[in-house]
Amino acid sequence: MDMVEFFSLLGLPARLAGRALLISRYVSNRGSTARITTDYAEKRYGKSVRWKPWLMIDVKELEETQDLINHGTDAQVESWRISQLSVCGMIAIIVGGTVHELLRTSDTDKGQGGLISSCAVTALQLPTLEECHYVARGSFVMSLILSLLSVFFSGLQQSSFGGQIETKDLRIWLADGRHLSDSTGQWELQSSVVAHMILKAPFEIVVMGILLFIVGMGTYLGSSWKNSLSLSTGSGGNRAILIAFVVPTVFVLLMYGHILGLKDREMVIAADHGGLQAMTKGQNAVTGLPRDVEASLQQDTYKRGHGETKAVSSEFQELRSMLQTAIDAQRQCAKASEDIAKHYERLLNNG
């Protein structure tokens, strides 16, 4: 086991905990994602990869990155870079403003910073928090710290990819310098696990921060109900608040996770039926027209497009002529103004 696999193993518990929010997804897809990437995983890590779940988590993304490095166009690589920068910007918006939020003293200013940071700072000021279980306060503190770290790592990524970096250099950065044979036996650059960890770190930390905040809020409400702390009026007020927290949270997570799991299964079905090739054949067979009719339609489309090009060229020439006429008229007006000025000057001299 090399150092990369060792650090992957160390980070496995935290990454699994972050994915606990969408555990219903992995139950619904029935291991569909793992089946898609088994061949690539075995080719890269060997047959024993099935017994190394800390490596299987990233196999799909590593395969996609490797395909981008070796087969993606420069436009696709640039689009990937812009997408990665947008993720960093999204993280900065969600969890940004933490330091500024901590320095605020006015109650009217609170809640205007980043989403997670504002929630974490406000949660530390909840009533009777000091009388609740220490897990509540500890979870809020860890959520706040993770928010800071995610913004820090996002800033590092923006400074790395935000400059004028060439696509060739980006491909080299995404690779680990090793080569791996593809399905045709050709050798190609292997995607880097280290680069993947660096890219995924901000989002993984944000997910853990959100999970810790939910755990802290649940612990706070549950401890308040158990210890009969005064959070609201009424005999069953604390229990009602706890139910109001648990029901929508669990419902939304289960529903969205189940939908994602169903989509994973659909992707497996599409891959088993030929994927894009089958879709392309289906598109070609939709019209059901003979080849000569299709050729005639294509020729008619070309002529129509060529005619539109001529129309645009004619409009451009007409616009150019109108502009030239306006220029000549402006020159004549300037000449007439000069003649009038000279006439006024003669009148002044005669006077």
pLDDT-derived band at 1 (thresholds 50, 70, 90) equals low
Q: Is there a domain that residue 278 lies in?
A: no
Q: What is the DSSP letter of 184?
A: T
pLDDT number for residue 202: 86
Q: Is there a domain that residue 284 lies in?
A: no
Q: Is there a domain that residue 54 lies in?
A: yes
Please choose, from the candidates 155, 163, 26, 36, the residue with its C-alpha nearest in 3D space to the C-alpha of residue 89: 155
Residues 146 and 201 both lie in one domain? yes
21 sits in the region (left: phi over 0; alpha: psi -120 to 50; else beta) called alpha
**Per residue in 27-55, pLDDT tens?**
777 666 555 556 777 777 777 777 777 77
Q: Is there a domain that residue 280 lies in?
A: no
Residues 244 and 128 both lie in one domain? yes
**Per residue in 205-256, pLDDT tens?**
888 888 999 999 999 999 888 888 877 666 677 888 888 889 999 999 899 8
Six token digits for residue 171: 């491909």
Residues 164 and 307 both lie in one domain? no
Q: Is there a domain that residue 282 lies in?
A: no
Residues 222 and 345 both lie in one domain? no
Domains identified in the chain, total number: 2
Residues 169 and 49 both lie in one domain? yes
pLDDT number for residue 283: 46
The pTM (predicted TM-score) of the whole model is 0.66
Residues 170 and 22 both lie in one domain? yes
Residues 216 and 331 both lie in one domain? no
Task: Give the range of the structural domain holding residue 304, as residue numbers without chain letter.
Answer: 290-351
Q: Is there a domain that residue 283 lies in?
A: no
pLDDT number for residue 247: 92
Output Rg (C-alpha) for the chain, integer angstroms: 32
Residues 62 and 193 both lie in one domain? yes
Residues 259 and 297 both lie in one domain? no
Residues 143 and 34 both lie in one domain? yes
Q: Is there a domain that residue 179 lies in?
A: yes
Quote the CA–CA distance of 177 and 195 in Å, as a whole number. 12
Q: Is there a domain that residue 16 lies in?
A: yes
Which residue has better confidence, 187 or 217?
217
Residues 257 and 341 both lie in one domain? no
Residues 213 and 129 both lie in one domain? yes
- Give yes or no for a contact between 57 and 290, defined as CB atoms under 8 angstroms apart: no
